[in-house]
Homo-oligomer: A and B are copies of this chain.
């Protein structure tokens, strides 16, 4: 069995491999080599080979990997074939967009419901998903065994919501709020931080212009 413990870097590249293998744009033979994936994605081929080795052990010299099987192995490794239940807190614009996004099941995420502190939102539905009042949260989480919580509240409320989620049994938090969340050991916070992305974009533009102007 391949090693289940991979580096964060590897884990971040695996979805790109899967995406490439699924895309109709790529080469369409029965087999696919790490080398060709590397070339298509602009990566070093040894990196790809090492990454694939942690997901599959079916690579054959000269032949490569069986495309269909590698896809299945990646999907399984990434948990796409084993859906996890999640709940979302904060049914504002972003929260509703996520509730309505139909692509998550494909990635093994099943959002059961949204929660919001605003009582006027309670009872509404977004894309067939109920928005419930906050006091229903602990019960639902514990009863169903929800382990993933999605935070889409304003930054100031994020920590309180996070604490509540963890109290209710959540083990992994997907945080869209611009806040640093304090959590106990063993709980994962995955920040989807737009401010970080924007900083990288802005820095790229500044560097480009300063280079052009300077040299």
Question: Chain A: residues with CB nearer than 8 A to chain B?
Answer: 4-6, 8, 11-12, 14-16, 19-20, 23-25, 40-42, 78-79, 84, 93-94, 96-97, 100-101, 103-104, 107-109, 147-148, 155-156, 159, 171-172, 174, 178-180, 182, 186, 188, 190, 192-208, 210
Nearest opposing residue in chain B for A176, CB measure: B197
The CA of A24 and the CA of B11, in the complex, are separated in Å by: 35
Residue contact A171 to B4, C-beta cutoff 8 Å: no
Residue contact B200 to A8, C-beta cutoff 8 Å: yes
Residue contact B41 to A180, C-beta cutoff 8 Å: yes
Main secondary structure of the interface of A (DSSP, over half): helix
Q: How far is the CB of A107 from chain B (nearest CB, A)?
A: 5
Q: How far is the CB of A6 from chain B (nearest CB, A)?
A: 8
Partner of A188, one of B23, B159, B196, B204: B204
Partner of A195, one of B94, B107, B206: B107
Q: Contacts A171-B208, A208-B186 given; indicate if A79 touches B180 (C-beta within 8 A).
A: no
List 16 extra interface pairs beyond A12-B199, A16-B180, A174-B197, CB under 8 A.
A4-B206, A6-B203, A14-B199, A19-B155, A19-B195, A23-B179, A41-B180, A78-B199, A93-B97, A93-B101, A107-B194, A108-B202, A172-B204, A174-B198, A192-B192, A192-B197
Q: List 26 A-B contacts (CB under 8 A).
A: A4-B206, A6-B203, A11-B196, A12-B200, A15-B193, A15-B196, A16-B180, A19-B155, A19-B180, A20-B180, A23-B156, A42-B182, A79-B198, A79-B206, A94-B101, A103-B178, A107-B199, A147-B205, A171-B204, A172-B204, A174-B201, A188-B200, A188-B204, A190-B197, A190-B201, A192-B194
The CA of A147 and the CA of B14, in the complex, are separated in Å by: 30
Residue contact A178 to B19, C-beta cutoff 8 Å: yes
Residue contact A11 to B172, C-beta cutoff 8 Å: no
Nearest opposing residue in chain B for A175, CB measure: B197
Q: Contacts A4-B207, A5-B207, A147-B205 given; indicate if A200 touches B190 (C-beta within 8 A).
A: yes
